[in-house]
Amino acid sequence: MKIALITGITGQDGSYLAELLLEKGYMVHGVKRRASSFNTQRIDHIYQDQHEAHVNFKLHYGDLTDSTNVIRIIQEVQPDEIYNLGAMSHVKVSFDSPEYVANVDGIGTLRILEAVRILGLEKKTRIYQASTSELYGGLAENKNEKGLYDEQSPFYPRSPYGVAKIYGFWITKNYREAYDIFACNGILFNHESPRRGETFVTRKITMATAAIALGEQDCLYLGNLDAQRDWGHAKDYVEAMWRILQQDEAEDYVIAMGETTYVRDFVKMSFAEVGIDIEFRGEGVDEKGYVASCSNPSYQIEIGKQVIAVDPQYFRPTEVDLLIGDPTKSKTKLGWVPQYDLAGLVKEMMMSDLQYVQREKMLNEVRSTIRY
């Protein structure tokens, strides 16, 4: 039985990867940070209680800022594969906490690599490092002849998050070459799901769309509507992570869909799932979205109502307007074939968030009748 260790297991990617590896017969160990409140909702269906847990699943308290903790966990687990998904991954927030991001996303990667080296596991343990499309910075001149970013495209990160991740990328490559460790970077473009954090733009949009349709919210405020992203489904992307570590040679791979979509169009697609057509008017910070029509009689929403607005507080100090990846290598060498397209992703997210908002609405109605 193979043994895998996943940092960031309570996140979107960690939860889907844990499910995938358990299905493949792995013993899965996950690392989670200690918090005063439970933050395991994405993996609660796997892990319920220490005495009733899945026999092949175990959690450890840990933190990528603590070298001795990282070494202890790896020594105890003796993993065949490490998936380093732990990170402070919110690009906008990284501008507010640049030192913390460098410590976790950059030096945290070094701590894992060095732990494997110190413990003499270079020949046993394979390492996957979660890299990011934010390395490229959106510069047009750095794209390949197809107008996409690939494994040879130069990097130009435009945020503290991207800068920290570029250290993680190069230190992984360095340890691969210096110590012959099977260590790989997966340069993943944006990947989403119903488990995406609520502060990330796609989930923020689908949550707000559901709330607006159900009369629980008036307006959705967004930042740069002209930003374009290459969006895929996290389920597909974690399979690519696993495939990367099953190869004969350690290499780096771009994981992407090869298509790009405006944030504005993601908004339109989300509202279309509930039968609402959105019309945008204006430009820049004055651009607003209005209800043009509603074909679903279940939603009593006023035609002509403004439901989208731009709030400059969501702008980044340095914007990345366009990210689009070239998945040629991952499809040819890994045999990776994504099962979701963007329409399927949006549909799944909207169905999930409609159920979530409806459930919360019912709970609030019940709470309002309770007398304390």
User: Tokens 């169905």 map to which residue?
Assistant: 351
Is the pLDDT assigned to residue 332 strictly greater than 90? yes
List 128, 161, 175, 340, catalytic entry: 161
Q: Which residues are CB-neighbours of 93 under 8 A, at least 6 positions away? A: 199
* Predicted confidence band of residue 142 (pLDDT cuts 50, 70, 90): confident
- Is residue 132 annotated as a catalytic residue, yes or no? yes
Is the pLDDT assigned to residue 307 strictly greater than 90? yes
Fold: same for 3-188 and 201-225+263-322+341-369 = no
Tokens at 64, concatenated:
């990528």
Answer yes or no: are the C-beta atoms of 184 and 172 closer than 8 Å. Answer: yes
Give the mean model confidence (pLDDT) for residues 341-345. 97
At the topology level of CATH, where does 3-188 sit?
Answer: Rossmann fold (3.40.50)
Give the mean model confidence (pLDDT) for residues 22-51. 79
Sequence ranges of the domains in the chain: 3-188, 201-225+263-322+341-369
Cα–Cα distance list, 29 to 2, 51, 95, 273 (Å)? 11, 16, 32, 38
Instruction: Give the range among 18-32, 65-79, 350-364 with minimum mean pLDDT.
Output: 350-364
Answer yes or no: are the C-beta atoms of 127 and 169 closer than 8 Å. Answer: no
Residue 337's Cβ-side half-sphere holds a number of Cα atoms within 13 Å equal to 1
Give the model's pLDDT for residue 76.
97
- pTM over 0.85, yes/no: yes
Dihedral of the alpha carbons of 346, 348, 353, 356, in degrees to the nearest 10: 180
Give the mean model confidence (pLDDT) for residues 246-250. 98
List 134, 192, 273, 348, catalytic entry: 134
Cα–Cα distance list, 103 to 22, 133, 164, 218, 335 (Å)? 30, 20, 8, 39, 35
- Burial per residue of 39-58, b for 16 or more beta-carbon CB atoms within 10 angstroms, e otherwise: ebebbeebbeeeeeeeebbe
Tokens at 137, concatenated:
């910075």
* Predicted confidence band of residue 66 (pLDDT cuts 50, 70, 90): very high
**Distance separating alpha carbons of residues 173 and 166, to the nearest angstrom:** 11
List 10, 109, 125, 132, catalytic entry: 132
**201-225+263-322+341-369: in CATH 1.10.540.10:** no
Is the pLDDT assigned to residue 232 strictly greater than 90? yes
- Is residue 360 annotated as a catalytic residue, yes or no? no
- Is residue 10 annotated as a catalytic residue, yes or no? no
First to last CA, the chain: 53
Give the model's pLDDT for residue 38.
64
Percentage of the chain beyond pLDDT 70 is: 96
Give the model's pLDDT for residue 299.
87
